[in-house]
Amino acid sequence: MLCSACSARRDWLLINRGRHVWIVCRCGHQWLEPEIRRADFDALVGAPDWTHHDSVQEGLVALGFDGAFAGLYLG
């Protein structure tokens, strides 16, 4: 799987909203990923300490997925 905007193969943020899982790339591009179900997401993540932000946009900025780090891989 590649980001259609910048061809990145990794360093993505997964966001679950309702029954859907969205992928957000460091370049700021985001898309609905129909192959990842909410149950799959919950089973993979399983973290008891969630960070909640007042809005999705606030979370994207706080985590560096608003396009500010486009082209960089944090690893």
Question: Element (H or E) spanning 62, and its range?
Answer: helix 56-63
φ/ψ bin of 61: left (φ > 0), alpha (ψ from -120 to 50), beta (otherwise): alpha
Q: How far apart are the C-alpha atoms of 36 and 47, rounded to whole Å? A: 17
Q: What is the pLDDT of residues 4-62, one digit of tens each?
A: 998 888 888 888 888 888 999 988 899 999 998 888 887 877 666 677 788 888 988 98
pLDDT band at 72 (very low <50, low <70, confident <90, very high): low
pLDDT of residue 30: 92
Q: What is the pTM of this model?
A: 0.73
In 10 A of CB 31, how many CB atoms? 14
Q: Is the pLDDT of residue 75 over 60?
A: no
Q: How far apart are the C-alpha atoms of 20 and 37, rounded to whole Å? A: 7
